[in-house]
A and B are shown apart, each in its own frame.
Chain A
Amino acid sequence: MDWLDWLLLAARVVVVFFVLLLSVILLVWVERKVVADMQTRKGPMRAGPRGVLVSLADGIKLFFKEGITPALADRPVYLIAPIVSMLPAFLAFAVIPFGTGVTLFGRRVPFQIADLNVGILWVLAMSSMMVYGIVLAGWSSGSNYPLLGSIRSSAQMISYEVGMALALVSVLMYSGHLRMTQIVAAQDRVWNVVPQLPAFVIYLIAGLAETNRPPFDLPEAETELVAGYHTEYSGIKFAMFYLAEYLNTVTVAAIATTLFLGGWRGPHPEHLAWLWPILWFVVKVLAIIYAYIWIRATLPRFRYDRLMAFGWKVLIPFGLVWVLATGAVIVLPDVYGRRPVVIGAAAVLAVVLLLSLLWSALARRRETVEAPS
């Protein structure tokens, strides 16, 4: 590597870093505006045209606010926690290809920070790391609400992580590669969302829970826990948690785009061939984020026991069954030919449908029998 390579690498990293920061600033505004629109309000209007600078103004305000370290806090951990929660949010984005790349000064510059051969595992590792920041923040604050919030949050995140991993496994079986660029390349004819629609749905739901977004925002359920794990944080440290949370949302949407929606793929003209993939990528990410905001404006918050029950009793068994079904669909036609497998699958489906109908009929009869007493 000579100096030009280093320069291009540094430029790539710096650009991605600041674009991510900027995207968070805009995303906070977009979310507030969209939610306001859905509730027939105007939302932020003061700072900048139509309030677009509102989150920048918030950030500047938080920057100059007094930082309070509670008397009972464990000081070093209390200081480290916001950093620990912010870092994995940036790092998870590193493996995502957001375009094809461009040739500058005779060097190939890929639109991706690092094309790791363990791409998906890196994403999983980073999403597990996010739990640390929250646990450390709640534990080190020396206060009851943050502690409760952080334990709840970690329990929620690890529960939904299993469902998320199962969704990723079925994508992996389909594409056969851990590398993100090859997963995108494998979607050149059909996006994964078509054959893997159930996995896509599992991933989106688990993603909501992983990023602590409504309706799974129990770690920050203000009616029960004040503000959850960041109750005792103020000023710039609070801003860092906020940043991490929105970065996670962007990252989860970007991963969903890459794994299920064909990444940067999309029809485009020959003119400016490097720019179009980026635009396609941004449009898809925005579509998923818009769906998340829509869900936030629509659904009330889950009750905690139902949240855990949904994760363990619905998502995990469904994910396991879907992994096996994907495997059967891929392998069995090669062994037995297409026809018997289709007939067999139809038979299995019919039996399952019949059983579920029978089951619900039985349950209804039991209810009517028990009701009078």
Chain B
Amino acid sequence: MLSEYLPIVVLAALALAFAVASLVVSSLLRPHRPTPAKLAPYECGIEPQRLPKGERFPVKFYVLAMLFIVFDVETIFLFPWAVGFRRLGLFGLVEMVVFIGLVFVAYLYVWREGGLDWNEPVRRSGEREQVGEALRAG
């Protein structure tokens, strides 16, 4: 059973060896003359400012990650169902319509709440006008 994976292990070892060998050989052959300017992060001549390391991102990305988990788990549930689909017949189809329907309701809710909009969520047209007026005033 697990012996099926043997060729993959061999391929992974080969790829890893290739990668490590090219890194090592290249580091032996290439010049090494670092200067402070060379080692500085890429910026347009400004004193480089480091982003807080791995701590603060736009909150949008967190929302997206959570939505991804929901939908990815949903598709993972679809896989075993799809394999046994022809045996399950009508029962399986109805079951999955109910399941996808429930997730779809959540999906519509997220959409309405602006979770899928990349820019600032604008919920109702009234709010949009208010925001527009505030922008014009400010």
A positions within 8 Å CB-CB of B: 9-10, 12-14, 16-17, 63-72, 79, 82-83, 86-87, 90-91, 94, 113-117, 120-121, 139, 141-145, 147, 151, 155, 158-159, 161-162, 165-166, 169-170, 172-173, 176-178, 226, 231-232, 235-237, 240, 304-305, 308-309, 312-313, 316-317, 320, 323-324, 327-328, 330-332, 334-335
Contacts and interface: CB of A to CB of B under 8 A. Distances in A.
For the complex of A and B, 4 pairs with smallest distance between CB atoms: A305-B118, A143-B41, A165-B75, A236-B26
Contact of B7 (A9, A70, A170, A328): A9
Interface residues on B, range: 35 or more
| Overall SS of chain A's interface | helix
Contacts of B53: 139, 142
Nearest to A334: B89
Given A94-B11, A320-B100, 7 more contacts: A69-B39, A87-B12, A144-B48, A170-B82, A312-B116, A324-B93, A332-B93
Nearest to A244: B19
B15 interface: yes
B109 interface: no
Contact of A90 (B11, B49, B54, B90): B11
A210 B93 CA distance: 30
Chain A CB within 10 A, most for which of B4, B22, B97:
B22
A241 B57 CA distance: 24
Given A91-B15, A226-B42, A117 B89 contact: no
B78 interface: yes
Contacts of B7: 9, 12-13, 94, 113-114
Contacts of A9: 6-7, 10
Contacts of B26: 63-64, 67, 235-236
Contacts of B19: 82-83, 86-87, 240
Contacts of B41: 70-72, 141-144, 232
B118 A309 contact: yes
B41 to A, nearest CB: 4
A169 B68 contact: no
B106 interface: no
B75 A144 contact: no
Contacts of A114: 4-8
Interface in B59-74: 61, 64-65, 67-68, 71-72
Given A83-B20, A166-B75, A116 B5 contact: yes
A189 B83 CA distance: 20
Contact of B78 (A65, A169, A332): A169
Given A166-B75, A328-B93, A159 B22 contact: no
B50 A72 contact: yes
B96 A324 contact: yes
B96 A17 contact: no
Given A313-B116, A324-B96, A330-B85, A237 B23 contact: yes
